[in-house]
Copies of this chain bind each other. A is one copy, B any other.
């Protein structure tokens, strides 16, 4: 029922991808063998190649789907918000939510995308850059509207704040786990407060 996988993916492909995420998360993609992935689905090694042309394409699928899902949710949330402050809040909420709820695939996506083919890696890097630029734009707009104080009037100041905010949110996938001291909703609230403060928002404590 996860929105992480595209509709077009065939059921066995989804199972394989899910098993791969779990193993990639625990051991890293390079250290995980095709035999381990297929065995986790009760299959033999060759079966993987009915659904993916290579192990690298399987990693690509996992990584790309997560990035596209994140981009989609961010776009949706940002459209529904009005004004830079609300947009910043919306973006942080989505980031925390995605990285807490889909913690394994998020971590794999963020940690292993560097292993992809140059072309595929470039595609992922493009998505990541678009996502960061989106937040940078929000921060700049907010500064011009008098909502934010970014500690400097240049483009660089906005980029630094955007990078720091996103790094902090992305890393949630590295340590969060449900059933811990904090619920996802509480984490969202706390991180929204931190982000508002980082942006120098007037109404932030």
Contact = CB atoms under 8 A, between A and B. Distances in A.
Interface of A: 27-28, 30-31, 111, 114-115, 149, 151-152, 156-157, 159-161, 163-164, 167-168, 170-171, 174-175, 181-182, 187, 190-191, 193-194, 197-198, 200, 205
Contacts of A200: 197, 205
Chain A at the B interface: SS class: helix
A27 B116 CA distance: 10
Given A28-B30, A30-B28, A182-B156, A191 B164 contact: yes
25 contacts: A27-B115, A28-B28, A28-B30, A28-B114, A28-B115, A30-B31, A151-B193, A151-B194, A151-B205, A152-B190, A156-B182, A157-B190, A160-B182, A160-B187, A160-B191, A161-B194, A163-B171, A163-B175, A164-B194, A167-B167, A167-B174, A194-B198, A197-B198, A198-B198, A200-B205
